[in-house]
Structure 1
Amino acid sequence: MDSIEFFFDCSSPWTYLAFSRIHSVAEEAEVEIIWKPVIVGGVFNEVNQEIYEIRANPNKLKFNYSRKDLQDWADLCGISIRWPSIFPVNAVKMMRAAIIANDQGKLVPYAWECFKSYWERDEDVSNDDILKKILISSGLRGEEILKSTKKQDIKDRLKNNTSELIKRGGFGSPTIFINKEDMFFGNDRIELIRYKLSKL
């Protein structure tokens, strides 16, 4: 069966947009989505450090346009995005929990709740109490999973996903592969992915 690998970090607004759209694309093409939680900060540290310089010294015109562009996309996707008061946020524990949620077949509802918490409600998703509420809202055992995020196996699996993305040429979130080979980066590549899938 053909597949899409979706490497993602819920602390990225462009990933929220892509996540909201990738499901229908996969359904239309009848392909499987393989979810790959990562830490985008780890990717930046290895292969995309210039992002930090851009954040520290933004071009005002590009910055203003980027915020407008983000809202236009949010309107198109039918989701609400407001810039969080804490950005960037420490997403490590949230994305470790995503590994566990995926194991338990709850990745999609969990990711939705994470995106909404951070990008719609401006909640601090690094906070244990907030994460516990997200987990419970997703049909997961909040306290149990929070404890499990401290296990070395879970830590290693998130690191391995992040390292895998870097080794395969990725430099940010979301990064999507069709059948493990054809790489696409960013929400604005979803239509191109749709086209490529139609040719399989």
Structure 2
Amino acid sequence: MKLEFFFDCSSPWTYMAFEMVQPLAEEFGVNIIWRPILVGGIFNQVNPGVEFFKVKDRIPQRKLDHMLKDIGDWEKALGIRVKFPPAGHPVNSVKVMRACLLLEPQGKLVPFARRCFQAYFGEDHPLSDDAVITDICRDTDIDPKWLLSAIAEQSAKDALRMNVDEAIARGAFGSPTMFLDDVDMYFGVDRIQLLRKAMERKRTKR
């Protein structure tokens, strides 16, 4: 089985799915193919002109209250901290998502991304801030000087753009988006259980 995980560290639902998909993949003996994206870039192309990220403006209070309860329930279930919305939300996550792309071949994407989620949703630190990125690097044994220089290179910008374009071409419209064996798409943390069922069926057939 092939499992791809398209994600952006600025999404609370992605944080939850990020923590859930790893034990799922381990259970099935599957290596996750991490695909960093920029969710704003996807949304701007798929839903141009819509102020998607203005949460309080677009969601009725009753639904917003329930969404916040939902987040609290996920916090308890997963043992993570998710303050929503963090100060300054939505954050420009382009730097840390380029960083994730560069760190994946080094095997450092997962600890770096996890620390990004913790810093943003647990500690109110903006992921667009170089000082915050520097602290995250130090926490995850990464050279911040090298990383901040590398993410400014055109090659890093192009690589992230290519992931965004590919995600859109394959039908994605947000984060997290998961693909099982290239074409079977699942969107959102609440689809993890459906992804599990699909993986169980594939394992049974084999």
Whether 1:41 and 2:43 are equivalent positions in the alignment is no
Cα shift at 1:51: 5.4
CA distance in 1, matches of 2:83, 2:53: 23
Determine if the alignment matches structure 1 residue 21 to structure 2 residue 9: no
The whole-number CA distance in structure 2 between the counterparts of 1:118 and 1:53 is 16
1:31 aligns with 2:30: yes
- Residues 142-151 or 55-64, more deviating: 55-64
- AA aligned to 2:107 is G
Distance 1:53 1:198, change over 3 A: closer
**Distance of aligned partners of 1:198 and 1:71 in 2 relative to their CA distance in 1, 3 Å threshold:** same
- Is the Cα contact below 8 Å between 1:4 and 1:179 reproduced in 2? yes
Aligned twin of 2:68: 67
CA contact (8 A) 2:53 2:90 kept: no
Q: TM-score, normalised by structure 2?
A: 0.93
The CA distance in 1 between the partners of 2:24 and 2:122, in whole Å, is 24
- Aligned residue identity for 2:70: D
Using the size of structure 1 for normalisation, the TM-score is 0.95
Shift in Å, 1:106: 0.4
RMSD between aligned residues: 1.3
The answer to whether the Cα contact below 8 Å between 1:101 and 1:140 also exists between their aligned partners in 2 is: no
- How far did 1:91 drift? 0.5
Match of 1:180 among 182, 186, 190: 182
- How many angstroms does 1:54 deviate by? 6.2
The one-letter amino acid of 1:174's match is P
Counterpart-to-counterpart distance in 2, 1:54 and 1:33: 32
Unaligned runs of 5+ in 1: none
Q: CA deviation at 1:53?
A: 7.7
Cα deviation code 1:44-84 (max 9, x no counterpart): 10113445286333211111111111111121111111121
Query: In 1, distance between residues paired with 2:52 and 2:33?
Result: 29
Percent identity, please: 42
CA drift at 1:136: 2.0
Specify the alignment match of 2:52 in structure 1.
52
Letter in 1 for 2:124: D
Distance verdict in 2 for CA 1:10–1:197, change over 3 Å: same
